[in-house]
Amino acid sequence: MVLFIYGTKANFVKSDWYQPNQYYQNGQYVHSVFGTQDRAIHAKLRKPVAGIYSMTSIASYEPLTDDIIIKFLRVLNERFIRTGKTCPIDQWFQYLAFDVVSMVTMSRPMGFVEQGGDVDGLLAQLETEFSYRLQTGIFPVWDTILRKNKFVSWLSRNTVSPFLKRSREILDDRVKALHERDAEKYSDEMGRDFVSRFFEQKEKNPTEVSDNMLLMYVTQNIVAGSDTTAIVLRSILYRLMKNPNALATLRAELDAANPTFPIPYSVAYKLPYLTAVVKECLRLHPIGGSLLLERIVPSTGLKVLDSDVVLPGGTIVGSTGWMTAFDKRVFGEDAGVFRPERWLKGEHETHEAFKERLSMMNSSDLSFGKGSRLCLGKHIAELELFKVLPTLVALLDIEMDPPGKEWDVEYLFFAKQSGMDVKIKWRKGVVQEEIIG
């Protein structure tokens, strides 16, 4: 049913739950790739930038990512390793993720890692925004009443969404830098970032890429690129800390690969056990908290599998990542257990049987959505995950403080974790000066 409802050929459009995920400015909607319900608008928004988000293009952002990872290691060393202080790693993963996405977007970090805290209240604003979207998504009429109407737009005409405002500042700053060729603001790195490539698309397709579309592209990077990746980083580290055998297996694979650091993506994504760990953690802790990924049954109706029930057109249906991830018919009787080996070929399993089993598991994966509405930023997240986690695991000893401590998870718009207080040390044999200078 997952592919039938969410697959590329599926004829199920998004419900009104997604309305609050669009912006409203000057009495008009600023449609987003994630939020728009209209398929034609979605295709129009996605087409000019789809290539920018391809894995081939994302690989060119790797040097920008490396800079932030090295900065992150230096700050961890100064604040926590040398001092022996406890590190709230759940918060620091959020700082890292925000700086990485801002770096690949505009060639400069927002400064979360350096500051070691919220910058300009953006994280607090983000949490407030997602809380609003979750609640008004359940009753979309309230979003129309509270925000998306011309009367409210007129009353708040001098008030701009903090994310649209920040995105506009980023675009204006780049226009100025390009015009003046300011040596301090314009560099070769900017030719590799998202903003430069968004502008290139506007120059190539001036009638197809509007100013509002440029604004939306930058905003979606900022809004969607930090919380989601931080959640997965926390999930992977937490489960490795709780499963020492899996941690030892992953470290053995990394040590055998003998990579440079930060580990190159071209090396990391070829490591089978690392890939299995990432997939298993995405499965056990889907990013969405209580998100149903609602879709509307088309006029032809929907016959429920293994029953005579037919849902009429207009019925809202959907699934959460949690529902599909723990399906024992797909993942086995131990679906609730962390076992990365399920993503690897069994010792006595034929190639054909493994290929069929893997295909079934992948088909049930809703981590980044499915079909034509697959998350545009999936490859950005993968680049970060396959670089940050193996780098930390290979270089550092990290354990919960106190040992055995459990995390806390809040299931709202996202399934956000907290309470991950850890102690950090360099692994024996690591020459830190070779890594962080």
Place 158 in a pLDDT band, splitting at 50, 70 and 90: low
419: left (phi over 0), alpha (psi -120 to 50) or beta: left
Q: Reply yes or no: is the peptide bond before residue 402 cis, omega within 30 of 0.
A: yes
Task: Please write the tens of the pLDDT for every residue from 322-348.
Answer: 889 999 999 999 999 999 999 999 999
pLDDT above 70 covers what percent of the chain?
A: 95
Amino acid identity for residue 432 in this structure? Q
More confident residue, 183 or 217: 217
Place 396 in a pLDDT band, splitting at 50, 70 and 90: very high
Which is it for the CA torsion 268, 375, 33, 235, positive or negative?
negative
Task: Please write the tens of the pLDDT for every residue from 342-357.
Answer: 999 999 999 999 999 9
Name all contacts of 147-154 with Cβ < 8 Å and 24+ positions apart.
147/20, 147/24, 148/19, 148/22, 148/24, 148/29, 150/27, 153/24, 153/25, 153/26, 153/27, 154/27
Mean pLDDT of 72-79: 98
Task: Please write the tens of the pLDDT for every residue from 214-262.
Answer: 988 998 888 887 889 999 999 999 999 999 999 999 999 999 999 999 9
Taking alpha carbons only, the member of 383, 427, 429 closest to residue 66 is 383
Instruction: Return phi, psi of residue 25, to 5°.
Output: -140, 130
Q: Which residues pair with 295 in a beta bridge?
A: 14, 317
pLDDT given at position 289 = 65
> What's the length of the chain?
437
Mean pLDDT of 66-93: 97
What is the value of pTM for the model shown? Answer: 0.93
pLDDT given at position 181 = 61
Mean pLDDT of 425-437: 94
Place 151 in a pLDDT band, splitting at 50, 70 and 90: confident
Amino acid identity for residue 124 in this structure? A
| Secondary structure of residue 108 in the 3-state scheme | coil
Which whole-number Å values give the CA distances from 355 to 139, 230, 282, 345, 432, in the listed order?
Answer: 43, 31, 20, 8, 41
- DSSP character for 427? P
Q: What's the CA gap between 424 and 387, in Å, rounded?
A: 19
Lowest mean pLDDT segment, chosen from 139-143, 156-160, 255-259: 156-160
pLDDT given at position 155 = 79
DSSP codes of every residue in 255-322: HHH---SSPPHHHHTT-HHHHHHHHHHHHHS-SBSS----EEPPTT-EEPTTSS-EEPTT-EE---HH
Q: What's the CA gap between 363 and 366, in Å, rounded?
A: 8
Lowest mean pLDDT segment, chosen from 5-14, 152-161, 193-202, 280-289: 152-161
Q: Reply yes or no: is the peptide bond before residue 20 cis, omega within 30 of 0.
A: no
pLDDT given at position 173 = 86
pLDDT given at position 38 = 92
The mean predicted confidence, pLDDT, of the chain is 91
Which residue shows structure tokens 């008004």?
136
Mean pLDDT of 199-206: 90
| Secondary structure of residue 62 in the 3-state scheme | helix
More confident residue, 153 or 385: 385
Place 190 in a pLDDT band, splitting at 50, 70 and 90: low
Q: What's the CA gap between 35 and 278, in Å, rounded?
A: 27
